[in-house]
Structure 1
């Protein structure tokens, strides 16, 4: 990482290649980072230098060294430098299912404004915002996930809204999706697999995992698409193998989820090498 200490001339993104269940990146942007987009994960991060500005829930927010970014799954946001000097940050993308394994069916915690100065969340996220080339042992990662879930719940406060959720049925639906991504999955299939009426299941799924069943399916296919790209597949081959109808269909979804095109995403990763 030493070669990145001085301000680079090109935007770059480094993805962790260490084993683990949480995707981690470190990046530097001189100005514009991402167009508006939505992840279906928690985005937990730390600004290392500069000002990391982003629109979130109708406000312009500014991440600076010392606070913690905690963006809720499926909430629209973008990313840009708040000053001319650019910004550098680390981010971890945490699958809500990992949080639900610990919370056991509670509504996902929400951090108001996507930023927190609470020391509990700062310390609980520390393991995931270390240098991306530092591996996390399996037990270390599991302990860190527990600490993060507890901090999110404590800092997020009491949830207002539906609290009686059928976690077991929603988890059966999620497991069915993970095993059958090659199919054209429908709510009727999920109703049958989960044993839960489809519209109640859909509402519970959103509350428990932060996104709709359809967007969850799409994101898993995009995950596969990205893995294939990194393995050297051509765009069109990776598109079809991941389950998309065609390249334009895939690209629309990719930009909605990551804020850049697949080609630009790859360029930033290569710039970091």
Structure 2
């Protein structure tokens, strides 16, 4: 089945997103002004790139540098399902200026196998399609860009990241005190006086989870407490600052293995 969806998300300027599934469709020769980074979810994508036919299998990352002529076609009988980012490099440079991240348009290889990078790119793409907190989107975006360019970019740069203990505790306390209105990563950076990437790494080293995971855990724990006091699912969702009922239900079930409505019925 041939299907595709393309969109932008207001959280980040200069990023276009594509989610598609193709079986027989083939792209003609073309190029992008942007850096194209994608994750292959199912099947395999065939790619004619730099004079060679390549196959990018499931759970691999495809990287196409700006202005490079290429095609795209099914690399397996079942075709391929994938998600693509098209990054405007000027906007990326603006967002990561003075962050010690060497934004460079050249990615070393068109095929990358990196389980960690694949996972966070996939989570980022999905967060820009579904209802997600700004802290979640910003954290995944920062981690993805940092890992991509420092590990696979043409301008690799080694950076030593120290553990920001005090900053991590400041960020944790701020999340606890303000979880209802969904603090952003930029706010945490300001109050903790620690760069976004350093804060994420330090926070996880100290508490075992990232700031956006801590925010979700704080919300669902508070939600469980409110439900046990007799508040309805709608009242609880609003009180905890979830975007909508589906967002609340999805995250509550991930934490407790049961939907909030079923939990409410069991304790009633």
Q: TM-score, normalised by structure 2?
A: 0.49
Structure with max Cα Rg: 2
Which structure ranks higher in relative contact order (CA pairs < 8 Å, sequence separation ≥ 6)? 1
Q: TM-score, normalised by structure 1?
A: 0.48
